[in-house]
């Protein structure tokens, strides 16, 4: 399991972050100079150069969102202009893209970050520019919400989820991060209408999707199947669209539906934690007919804690996981959980992008629980699997997040080669399909980067950078 450093503080990462942002700037410029966007969105690197993969268009927002995060962290105006200009030129198709479940990736990372910077006063206020970003975010949330599969009602309560690009039967665990687009659209006051001008509550759809993810994508050791372990996740959950019943777990990018694809686990960790933060800002009256604050918070908190507990317990000591906890050749690595991960080995690859996403989830959940105890000191604490109170667990998650980030901000994960376009090394895209580059003489892929990994290491770094600088707390809905 992760050897959590109990004494590390954000300020202890200052020198690493300074080097990180300098390298990040080089990589953004290198891609801008060398990558031909007419080929499609850059997805992952092969021999150090970004290439595309025609599955779905879900990574372009990470490319231009990275430039916006770079400006946020460093104040370098050229990156603001790059992110702003490329958002105007390239991102409109993603706003109206009805074929993907990734609006929270593409559009919150670009339009959302730009609007957030304006709201925070980091870029000048311009009413037309503000209206432009707001309109894009309103529409994006509605388009995402329209990918809706109703499922069997329970106790007369509506149920359903945002379905993946696989079709209306398919719930992906990663889509929880796209609930951000629905929440932002709702908070901006957008009216989403369906057939016959029926008004559809965007907040309700977001919360129902979050609940479906908590109920079917996350396991709690309660006997659902023979592999039911506290905090395990399934990448895909399959439903019968005729009667709305759940059928079985599945996986697209993991090893099986009965093992845990670690990037999917990380999406759940980060998604539940940031939606808990959003829930705390919504008035009780708005939640009364949607399950009520107490029940919604309990559901999301249980899922967040379970997934974070599983990550800590099933990840090597330095905080970087192998790509799937049930990968078939892990046993050949011996006691791999009792030592740092080995990106270069003969059996199974690690996935640093999962670690980058997970680090932010751990930090956000830790901060949430510690604030919960501060604001409600007389509340009887919930004791989770780790045998800790909310405050103790919050500290554990926070320190674990800093521990993981500290690992990623250094070699062998930080890319220092000036010719390599990637920033975070040893990322894995699709191991079952064999899409990742395997170096000559190796039995596994290693040494490459992904656009989502590069973006999310920047996002986690910005989160901690702001803590060091005592800047406003970084929230996706600060754009409202």
The set of residues, in sequence order, having a beta carbon less than 8 Å from that of 378 and lying 6+ positions away, is: none
Q: What DSSP state is assigned to residue 223? A: S
Q: Give the pLDDT of the chain (480 residues) as one tens digit per residue.
A: 999 999 999 999 999 999 999 999 999 999 999 999 888 899 999 999 999 987 788 999 999 999 999 999 999 999 999 999 999 999 999 999 999 999 999 999 999 999 999 999 999 999 999 999 999 999 999 999 999 999 998 878 899 999 999 999 999 999 999 999 999 999 999 999 999 999 999 999 999 999 999 999 999 999 999 999 999 999 999 999 999 999 999 999 999 999 999 999 999 999 999 999 999 999 999 999 999 999 999 999 999 999 999 999 999 999 999 999 999 999 999 999 999 999 999 999 999 999 999 999 999 999 999 998 777 766 656 655 556 778 889 999 999 999 999 999 999 999 999 999 999 999 999 999 999 999 999 999 999 999 999 999 999 999 999 999 999 999 999 999
Whether omega for the bond prior to residue 94 falls within 30 degrees of 0, making it cis, is: no
* Top-tier CATH class for 10-145+282-479: mainly alpha
Q: Which two tokens stand for residue 202?
A: 């965007």
Q: What DSSP state is assigned to residue 48? A: T
Identify the residue whose tokens are 């957030």.
116
**Rg of the chain, C-alpha, whole Å:** 21
Give the span between the Cα atoms of 408 and 318, in whole angstroms. 9
Identify the residue whose tokens are 């999707």.
209
Helix segments in 213-261, DSSP class H: none
Of 149, 148, 134, nearest to 186 by C-alpha is: 134
Give the span between the Cα atoms of 342 and 462, in whole angstroms. 27
Residue 236, phi then psi, degrees to nearest 5: -125, 140
Give the span between the Cα atoms of 139 and 27, in whole angstroms. 31
Give the span between the Cα atoms of 350 and 345, in whole angstroms. 10
Identify the residue whose tokens are 């966007």.
37
Output the pTM of the full model: 0.97
Identify the residue whose tokens are 């942002």.
21
Burial class (CB in 10 A: 0-12, 13-18, 19+), 463: buried
Of 84, 85, 23, nearest to 421 by C-alpha is: 23
Domain limits, the chain: 10-145+282-479
Q: Which two tokens stand for residue 7?
A: 């004494």
């Amino acid at each position: 399991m992760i050897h959590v450093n109990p004494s590390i503080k954000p300020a202890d990462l200052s020198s690493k972050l300074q080097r990180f942002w300098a390298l990040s700037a080089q990589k953004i410029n290198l891609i801008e100079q060398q990558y031909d966007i007419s080929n499609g969105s850059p997805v992952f690197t092969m021999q150090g150069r970004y290439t595309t993969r025609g599955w779905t268009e879900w990574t372009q927002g990470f490319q231009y969102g990275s430039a916006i995060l770079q400006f946020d962290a460093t104040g370098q105006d050229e990156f603001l202009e790059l992110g702003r200009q490329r958002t105007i030129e390239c991102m409109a198709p993603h706003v109206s893209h009805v074929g993907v479940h990734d609006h929270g990736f593409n559009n919150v990372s670009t339009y959302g970050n730009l609007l957030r910077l304006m709201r925070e006063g980091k870029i000048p206020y311009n009413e037309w520019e503000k209206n432009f970003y707001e309109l894009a975010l309103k529409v994006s949330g509605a388009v995402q919400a329209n990918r809706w599969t109703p499922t069997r009602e329970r106790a007369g309560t509506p149920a359903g989820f945002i379905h993946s690009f696989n079709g209306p039967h398919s719930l992906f665990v990663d889509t929880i991060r796209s609930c951000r687009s629905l929440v932002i659209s709702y908070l901006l006051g957008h009216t989403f209408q369906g057939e016959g001008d029926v008004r559809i509550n965007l907040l309700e759809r977001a919360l129902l999707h979050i609940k479906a993810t908590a109920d079917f994508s996350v396991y709690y050791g309660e006997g659902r199947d023979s592999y039911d372990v506290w905090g395990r996740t399934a990448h895909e959950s399959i439903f019968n669209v005729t009667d709305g019943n759940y059928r079985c777990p599945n996986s697209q990018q993991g090893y099986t539906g009965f093992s845990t694809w670690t990037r999917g686990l990380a999406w759940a960790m980060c998604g539940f934690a940031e939606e808990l933060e959003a829930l705390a800002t919504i008035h009780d009256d708005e939640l009364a007919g949607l399950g009520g604050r107490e029940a919604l918070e309990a559901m999301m908190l249980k899922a967040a804690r379970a997934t974070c507990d599983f990550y800590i317990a099933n990840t090597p000591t330095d905080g970087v996981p192998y790509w799937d906890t049930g990968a078939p050749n892990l046993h050949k690595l011996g006691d791999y959980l009792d030592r740092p991960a080995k990106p270069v080995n003969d059996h199974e690859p690690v996935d640093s992008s999962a670690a980058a996403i997970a680090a932010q989830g751990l930090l956000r959940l830790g901060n949430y629980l510690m604030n919960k105890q501060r604001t409600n000191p007389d509340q009887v604490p919930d004791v989770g699997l780790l045998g800790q109170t909310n405050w103790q667990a919050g500290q554990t998650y926070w320190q674990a997040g800093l521990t993981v980030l500290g690992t990623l901000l250094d070699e062998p994960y930080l890319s220092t080669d000036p010719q390599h376009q990637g920033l975070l090394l040893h990322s894995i895209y699709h191991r079952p399909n064999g899409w990742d580059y395997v170096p000559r003489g190796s039995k596994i892929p290693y040494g490459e980067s992904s656009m989502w990994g590069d973006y999310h290491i920047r996002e986690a770094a910005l989160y901690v950078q702001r803590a060091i600088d005592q800047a406003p707390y970084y929230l996706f809905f600060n754009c409202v």
